[in-house]
Structure 1
Amino acid sequence: MTTSTRVAAGLLTGLFAVSGLTACSGDGGGKGGGDDVASWSDASAEAKKLLDGTSGVELSISTKDDPGGNFLKEATGTIVADPATFEGKVSGSVSGLPVNDVPVISADGTLWINHALLGGWSDKYQPKELCAPDPATLLDPETGVSTVLTSSKDVEAGKAERGGEDNKEIFTTYSGTATGDAIRAILPCAEGDEFDATYRVDDKGYLRSARLTGVFFPDSDAVTYTIDVTKYDVTKDITAPK
C-alpha cells in the first residue's frame, strides 16, 4: 500500500464513516424526558425529514482519543445533496505520523485527495477501495444516513435546556445505543457490536450534534467522536478537480 493510499484509507474512512453517523439514530418508539420534550420516535422522524429536505450541510468532527494506527483526528466539510458532492479537509494519523488539513473532494462517484507535496490533486479512488461510503451520497433520502434513523435502541430523552448564541436556543439530548449492524451499513469494516450514542436536537427539530463511542476501526480501541452539524440548507458549487 502506497503512502498516499494509507492517507486515504486512514483519514477518509474515518471521516466518511463518522460524518455519516450524524444521523444514525432512532429507536422505533422512544421515551420522553417530560411533558414538554418530544419522544425520540417523533424527534427522529422530524430530524430525518429535515435532513432529507436540506440542500446541504456543514459539519465538523473531532476526537480527543488516540486509538493508534490510522485514524481521523478532526475534519470539517460540506455535503451538498444535488448534485451529490462533498468538499472538506481532514487531519489525523497515518502510520503513526501526523497528517494535517488534507483537502478532499468527492464528485461523480470518485474521491480525490490533494497531496501538496505530490503535485496537488494527484490521487483518486473509488469509495469501495477504502472500505467507506461515498460521502457525497450521505444525504440521499433513499440510501443515505437518514434511513438509519430507526436503528438505535433504548433511546431516552433528557430535559430541554437552553444554549447556543446568547443562550437563545433550546436543545434536547437523547441517549441510546446504535447497533453494530447499523454502523456497518455505513462502514463495513467497523468492529463494534454496539455504539453508545448521544444526540442533541434543537427546538426546531434539527439534529445539531452527535457523540458516538465504539470500535470504528479494525484492531483499535474504542473511540469517542463528537460531530457538530453547524449549518443546514447550504448551497455550494463543488466540482471534480481538473
Structure 2
Amino acid sequence: MRRTAAPLLAFALFVVPALSACGGAATETESPADLLAHAKHTLDETESLHFVLDSEGAPETGTELVGGEGDIARPASFEGTLKVLAMGSTLDLAVVSVDGTVYAQLPFASGFSVVDPAQFGFGDPGVLIDPDTGISQLLAAAENAELGEERRVDGEVVREVTADLPGELVEQILTSEDPARAVRARFSIAEESGELLRAELTGPFFTAEEDATYTLELSDFGADVEITAPTTG
C-alpha cells in the first residue's frame, strides 16, 4: 500500500500545479467593481438592445411610468409601448423617439403626434443607452457594491451585485420623489459577456414616504434594429 501511495502522491503534486499553470483551474470571480465596469463597457459599446420595464408599488392616482417594452438603438432612437398611469387607469402608449423628438399615439388617435414625454411621467427613452445620459451611468456611480448570489436569468449564468445609487442621478435618468435618498440596486450581470441582464431598483419613485421597485430586463444586445420617425397628422 505504501509503495503505491507514494507515486500517486508525487503524481498529484506534479500534475495539479501544471494544470493550474495551463489554465485548467477555474478563474476567480471578478470583484464587484470589475463586474460593474465590465457591464458599463458592454452597455456603452452595444448598438442596440431590447428592454422590458415593470414596477411594484405604483400608486393608483397621478401620472407615472409604470412599465413598458421596446427596442433602443444608437445614436438616440426608441420604438415600443410604454405603460403610463393617468386619470386612474393604465394606458398603453405606442412611442417612437428619433434624435430627440418623441412621438406617441395618444388614446383615441389614429396616428402619432409629437409630445413632451414629461407630461406622461417619463423622459426621452431614446437616450437610455447614451453613455452620458443613460442607464450605464448607474453602474459607474454605484456605491457600497457587494457580490450577491450566482443565478440564472433566461438560462444564462449571472452574478448579482448589490449597491447604493445616488438619488439625484436616479431622478435624472428615471424618477425620484426624494433625490436626497439613495436607491438600492441589484444588478444581474453575465460574467462572460458582461451584459447587464436585469436591474432591480428600489427607492422613493412614486412617493417620498414609501419605496417602490422598478425592474428592468435587457436582452438582444447588438440586434439588427432599424427605427424611423412615424408620419404625424
TM-score tier by shorter-chain length is 0.7 to 0.9
Q: Secondary structure at the match of 1:117?
A: coil
1:100-153 Cα offsets, whole Å, 9 max, x none, are x320011131111112512221x3224566674422122223443323422121
Separation in structure 1 between the aligned mates of residue 133 and residue 83 of structure 2, nearest angstrom: 27
Separation in structure 1 between the aligned mates of residue 224 and residue 52 of structure 2, nearest angstrom: 17
Separation in structure 2 between the aligned mates of residue 90 and residue 55 of structure 1, nearest angstrom: 21
Separation in structure 1 between the aligned mates of residue 39 and residue 212 of structure 2, nearest angstrom: 25
**What amino acid does structure 2 have at the position aligned with 1:155?**
A
Q: Secondary structure at the match of 1:136?
A: helix
Native 8 Å contact 2:175 2:205 kept in 1: no
Residue number in structure 1 paired with 2:100: 109
Out of 42, 66, 75, the position equivalent to 1:73 is 66
Native 8 Å contact 1:73 1:91 kept in 2: yes
Correspondence 1:196 to 2:184: yes
Residue number in structure 2 paired with 1:182: 169
Please identify the structure whose Cα radius of gyration is greater.
Answer: 2
Native 8 Å contact 1:110 1:127 kept in 2: no
Q: Cα 1:159–1:215, aligned 2, differ >3 Å: closer, same or farther?
A: closer
Native 8 Å contact 1:195 1:214 kept in 2: yes
- RMSD (Å), alpha carbons: 2.4
Q: How many residues align?
A: 202
| Alpha-carbon offset, residue 68 of structure 1 | 2.7
Residue number in structure 2 paired with 1:53: 45
Correspondence 1:141 to 2:131: yes
TM-score normalised by structure 2 residue count: 0.76
Out of 201, 207, 214, the position equivalent to 2:196 is 207
| Alpha-carbon offset, residue 171 of structure 1 | 1.1
**What amino acid does structure 1 have at the position aligned with 2:161?**
Y
Q: Secondary structure at the match of 2:108?
A: helix
| Alpha-carbon offset, residue 177 of structure 1 | 1.2
Residue number in structure 1 paired with 2:16: none
Residue number in structure 1 paired with 2:223: 234
Higher relative contact order (CA 8 A, sep 6+): 1
TM-score normalised by structure 1 residue count: 0.74
5+ residue gaps, structure 1, are 1-34
Separation in structure 2 between the aligned mates of residue 184 and residue 163 of structure 1, nearest angstrom: 27
Native 8 Å contact 2:199 2:215 kept in 1: yes
Query: 1:97-176 residue pairs with structure 2 within 5 A?
Result: 97-99=89-91, 101-121=92-112, 123-127=113-117, 132-162=122-152, 164-165=154-155, 169-176=156-163
Separation in structure 1 between the aligned mates of residue 118 and residue 82 of structure 2, nearest angstrom: 19
Q: Secondary structure at the match of 1:240?
A: coil
Q: Kindly, what percent of the aligned residue pairs are identical?
A: 28
Native 8 Å contact 1:183 1:190 kept in 2: no
**What amino acid does structure 2 have at the position aligned with 1:134?**
D
Q: Secondary structure at the match of 2:229?
A: coil
Native 8 Å contact 1:109 1:126 kept in 2: no
Q: Cα 1:127–1:62, aligned 2, differ >3 Å: closer, same or farther?
A: closer
Separation in structure 2 between the aligned mates of residue 81 and residue 54 of structure 1, nearest angstrom: 8
| Alpha-carbon offset, residue 163 of structure 1 | 5.4
Residue number in structure 1 paired with 2:212: 223
Separation in structure 2 between the aligned mates of residue 174 and residue 225 of structure 1, nearest angstrom: 16
Correspondence 1:85 to 2:73: no
Residue number in structure 2 paired with 1:41: 33
